[in-house]
Structure 1
């Protein structure tokens, strides 16, 4: 019976981690909660499951549950679990910084777009080619251009030859 319980725990724990890594956070919470019921919570493995559960709660936008469980884990018997939970708690409770709108890119929601809009956005269908707007090219004032020879090309060529000579001589 004990091995059956351990096997069920391993299955739920692995499913919880797998679904978390795939971005299915609510499903991950369900699997990890089942796994935490099948293991001694005071053990190192029980602490690991609960740490995963804290991160799944946070990812599933269940911040109160994440904070509550993380605070409980700061008193866990295993020192590594206590250390991890304190770090997680610090991150979870950190204030959210506001980002300027210029830093953000808006992604349009295309799920509500009509079929005709979707076709025109994807480029398929009968669409007319758009002409680029004509722009006038401004003439360049040659009196503003520096035409004085600054010997850069000669310096660069000599430097390249010195490097190649050094490589051949040393190689």
Structure 2
């Protein structure tokens, strides 16, 4: 049985770090690509003597603000509004249950502190503690212990409540994490008649995924990348620098070839053929007028 009061780790595991790196790269791309007139710049009027009266400072949005702005675009939310919900499979779930902030409500620490001071917590508050601890375990790849905590969270929150239904969505995914897919399917099927529309909609999508045929993969289906840890700036300059290009020289064959438009050295005024043709032309015109 897993301990119910585990310290919530603030460090993401390896298989979740890539998601944050993608968001960070997208935020950096946004800061580079968005035109200056549309970038969010926050003026801070200051009266610091070192900057003089009425000094003004412009600050760039933080990484968290940039990620929220990206989520606003992808989820079709008004900028800065409705961020307590996230759009998943066309439904709107609570932001601390789904999306990149799932399990990061940081309510458990405060609730545990209140409990240690002798304060009695409600079942709903106890459910929040079990939920946050379960997500922390899943991020450490301990899905087996997470299943037990999520079951407790569902019981305390009420399986027919919106919050309890959202916890069951996580319980199904935790069951899949320990190869108990049949049980995960049963949990998702039980949500078909849930009272909350958003929970029903998301559970139907997850059920479709859970019941999809399993892929039979082998080594040929994966791509192996070489170790690049030894590549540094020095290596980049030494081995990946621009190659030296030898100057181009005409070959003997090219020098013997005649190109259209090539200067032959003969000017029209010095060409005897052209001179003779001009005389013949003048004589011909004179004959026409005389006749």
Structure 2: distance between partners of 1:21 and 1:45: 21
Instruction: Give the aligned length.
Output: 109
CA deviation after TM superposition for structure 1 residue 22, in Å: 1.9
**What does residue 114 of structure 1 align with?**
none
Out of 64, 68, 87, the position equivalent to 2:182 is 64
Q: Deviations over 1:75-132 (max 9, x none)?
A: 11101000110000000000012234322479xxxxxxxxxxxxxxxxxxxxxxxxxx
CA deviation after TM superposition for structure 1 residue 29, in Å: 0.4
**What does residue 74 of structure 1 align with?**
192
Structure 2: distance between partners of 1:94 and 1:39: 30
Tell me the C-alpha RMSD between the 2 structures.
2.4
Out of 221, 225, 248, the position equivalent to 1:103 is 221
Out of 138, 141, 150, the position equivalent to 1:23 is 141
Structure 1: distance between partners of 2:177 and 2:137: 12
TM-score normalised by structure 2 residue count: 0.35
More helix by share: 1
Structure 2: distance between partners of 1:7 and 1:77: 21
8 Å Cα contact 2:155/2:164 also seen in 1: no
Does 2:165 correspond to 1:47? yes
For the pair shown, the structure with the greater C-alpha radius of gyration is 2
Q: Which runs of 5+ in 1 are unaligned?
A: 107-146, 150-171
Structure 2: distance between partners of 1:36 and 1:97: 32
Out of 206, 209, 220, the position equivalent to 1:88 is 206
8 Å Cα contact 2:161/2:196 also seen in 1: yes
Q: Which runs of 5+ in 2 are unaligned?
A: 1-118, 225-250, 255-291
* Secondary structure of the structure 2 residue equivalent to 1:73: coil
8 Å Cα contact 2:130/2:149 also seen in 1: yes
